């Protein structure tokens, strides 16, 4: 569990650091779980999209070089703030779809606080038997799972500073 969580931590750090540096894209190592996680982020409008990069070894054209993922990051306007404010990993927390308050609060018995204030909101991303999805999608499909991370995002566009 430790090595797997570290690889997720690396994924969260790479996404968050790339957005803090205002990069348009970020290159990530390939794994099926990362694809599911990026699909969830894309479905919820937190990233523009992603694509699989695979190339063949020039010396051995029948052999593929390790594939990678290219995620296109999303910002509000040109040169303004990123949609994703913070991604925090949470290891070893299993919860049902009813266990977190609807409007922020604390996840029962875990000590994880889901802030919802001003223009910042936080949602959980969970690994379930039906794939990676947000807490809202878990409630809709009535499934529980393991909490992968909490994603804090900007809800609305702030007026430009003058």
**Ramachandran area for residue 42 (φ above 0: left; ψ -120 to 50: alpha; else beta):** alpha
How far is the C-alpha of 124 from the C-alpha of 122, rounded, in Å?
7
This model's pTM is above 0.85: no
At 2 the pLDDT is 41
pLDDT tens-place values along the chain, 162 residues long: 444 445 788 899 999 899 888 899 999 988 888 999 999 999 988 899 999 887 766 777 666 677 889 999 998 876 678 888 888 887 777 887 777 554 444 555 555 555 555 556 778 888 899 999 988 888 889 888 888 888 887 765 444 444
Q: Tell me what pLDDT residue 156 has.
A: 55
Q: What pLDDT score was predicted for residue 43?
A: 92
**Domain residue ranges in the chain:** 2-154
The answer to whether 96 and 144 have CB atoms below 8 angstroms apart is: yes
Specify the pLDDT at position 68.
86
| CA–CA separation, 34 and 162 (whole Å) | 40
Tokens of 38: 């990026």
Specify whether domain 2-154 bears CATH 3.40.50.960: no
For the segment 115-162, what is each residue's pLDDT rounded down to a tens digit? 555 556 778 888 899 999 988 888 889 888 888 888 887 765 444 444
pLDDT at residue 42 in the model: 93
R_g (Cα) of the chain, nearest Å: 17
Q: d(Cα 28, Cα 68) in Å, to the nearest integer?
A: 6
């Amino acid at each position: 569990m430790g090595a797997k969580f570290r690889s997720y931590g690396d994924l969260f750090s790479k996404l968050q650091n790339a957005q803090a540096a205002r990069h348009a894209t970020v290159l990530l190592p390939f794994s099926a779980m990362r694809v599911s996680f990026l699909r969830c982020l894309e479905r919820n409008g937190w990233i523009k999209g992603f694509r699989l990069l695979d190339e063949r070894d020039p010396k051995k054209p029948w052999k593929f070089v390790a594939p990678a993922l290219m995620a296109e990051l999303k910002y509000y306007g040109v040169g303004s703030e990123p949609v994703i404010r913070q991604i925090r990993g949470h290891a070893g927390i299993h919860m049902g779809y009813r266990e977190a308050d609807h409007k922020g609060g604390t996840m029962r018995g875990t000590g994880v606080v889901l802030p919802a204030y001003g223009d910042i909101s936080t949602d959980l991303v969970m690994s379930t038997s039906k794939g990676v999805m947000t807490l809202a999608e878990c409630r809709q499909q009535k499934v529980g799972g393991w909490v992968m991370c909490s994603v804090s995002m900007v809800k609305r566009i702030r007026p430009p500073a003058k």
